[in-house]
Amino acid sequence: MDAERGFTMGRAGGLAGERIDAVHPGQGDDAGRTRRIAILVVAALIAVAVIYGAYKLFAGSGEAPAAADSTPRVTVIVPGRQAVTAEISATGTLAAKRDMPIGVSGEGGLVTRVLVEPGQWVKTGQTLAVIDRRVQAQQAEQLSAQINVARADAALAEAELKRAQALVDRGFISRADVDRRVATRDAALARVKVAQAQYGEVREQIGRLDVVAPTDGLILTRAVEVGQLVGAQSTALFRIAERGEMEMQARLAETDLAAMRVGLPAQVTPVGLSKSFPGSIWQLSPIIDPDTRQGVVRIQLAYDPALRPGGFAGVTITSGAAQAPLLPESAVQSDAKGNYVYVVNRQNQIERRDVRVGQVTDKGIAVLNGISGNEQVVYSAGAFLNPGDKVIPTRQAAAR
């Protein structure tokens, strides 16, 4: 009915326009403008009629255009728990396991030769540097001569004693004379021993003039040159790594240190290299630094030219297997407070959960603390969400 009413009004408008043309034929521009205005008015009336008819049509049927749902849909996963390797990563410095400083053991003197360079392997007792020994050599010759003199005196005293003992029974020499000759002989023998001891001391001093390696190892540094005067107060002339063994000294938080034990395997990667070197923990720090709340873990490494003491390295320590949720990297976010994930609660609202992550593998990131694995974790697009937002979760299968 309303549609018919609109059609009738439109038809009436058309007839009115014809009447205008019929009543005012040939009146020029004013008549044309009047006609155009009339047409526009009629068109407006037709449009209003059409809109009104459509409204009545929808109202009569009880239907209205549905409003678009503005609640966003997000993809979620329920990761569960699965076996993951518990690993702890840290950084630290490389060093010799036993860094031995070597200096002058004797009185020192002028260095005449240096026989080794850094990076060379040496054996126990091998001479590293030679110190001038001409003065000590002359002293040794003098003491050697004194030994010969003392031996001659002792031999003479022994001969005189024997003659006196042969004559005492005949009454030519008194028992007191024999006793004096015995004392003379004993004093001469003692002087021989004193001369020998002095000679031996000088020989030992000469031997100690040579700077020798106390053990098999690798020369790390050399701090002496030919012509240098050295003595007992001099700093270390060489540093040697005992048997060439290296280590990494890693600093761990006290919570991580509690999970460590001697013998755990580790992989050490020096800065600038992609190659990792196997090692194992050989010592745990017995104390915790009260300022940093950290302790030192010492990881033993076999010798390799790429392991240079003083260098920086990263380490991954394997502390066993554990059951933990495994999430894709897109689900884990971080800010100034640390790592976190978004979960969808039972009211389909976003919640933030702070987490502690573990090893990162091709399968994902192990979450060591913060979630149980039964939550609906936002798979991605977490950067566009805020705690408290209402969402529609769409579940996706977790990686295995």
- Which of the pair, 204 or 388, is modelled with greater confidence? 388
- Which of the pair, 279 or 64, is modelled with greater confidence? 279
- The pLDDT of residue 12 is 43
Residue with the two structure tokens 């990131």? 365
- The pLDDT of residue 400 is 59
**Secondary structure (DSSP) of 65-106:** PPPPP-PPEEEEE----EEEEEEEEEEEEEEESSEEEE---S
Q: Which of 139, 130, 131 is nearest to 200 (CA)?
A: 139
- Which tens digit of pLDDT belongs to each residue from 7-41? 344 444 443 444 444 444 444 556 666 777 777 77
- The pLDDT of residue 70 is 81
- Residue range 126-146: mean pLDDT, rounded: 80
- Which tens digit of pLDDT belongs to each residue from 281-329? 999 989 999 998 899 999 999 999 899 999 999 998 987 777 889 899 8
- The pLDDT of residue 270 is 94
* Averaged pLDDT score across all residues of the chain: 81
- Residue range 144-166: mean pLDDT, rounded: 84
Give residue 55's pLDDT band: very low, low, confident or very high (50, 70, 90): low
- The pLDDT of residue 277 is 94
- Which tens digit of pLDDT belongs to each residue from 183-229? 888 888 898 888 889 888 777 777 777 888 999 999 999 999 998 88
Residue with the two structure tokens 């001969």? 159
Give residue 87's pLDDT band: very low, low, confident or very high (50, 70, 90): confident
- The pLDDT of residue 62 is 47
- Residue range 351-364: mean pLDDT, rounded: 84
61 pLDDT more than 80: no
Q: pTM for this one?
A: 0.54
CA pair distance 9, 3, nearest whole angstrom: 10
Nearby residues of 355 by Cβ (< 8 Å), 6 or more positions away: 332, 339, 340, 341, 367, 368, 369, 370, 371
- The pLDDT of residue 75 is 92
**Stretch among 3-7, 57-61, 113-117 having the lowest mean pLDDT:** 3-7
- The pLDDT of residue 195 is 86
- The pLDDT of residue 243 is 92
Helix boundaries (H) for the chain: 2-23, 29-61, 134-168, 175-209, 254-257
- The pLDDT of residue 347 is 92
- The pLDDT of residue 69 is 61
- The pLDDT of residue 31 is 60
Q: How many CA atoms lie within 13 A of 228 on its CB side?
A: 15
152 pLDDT more than 70: yes
Give residue 53's pLDDT band: very low, low, confident or very high (50, 70, 90): low
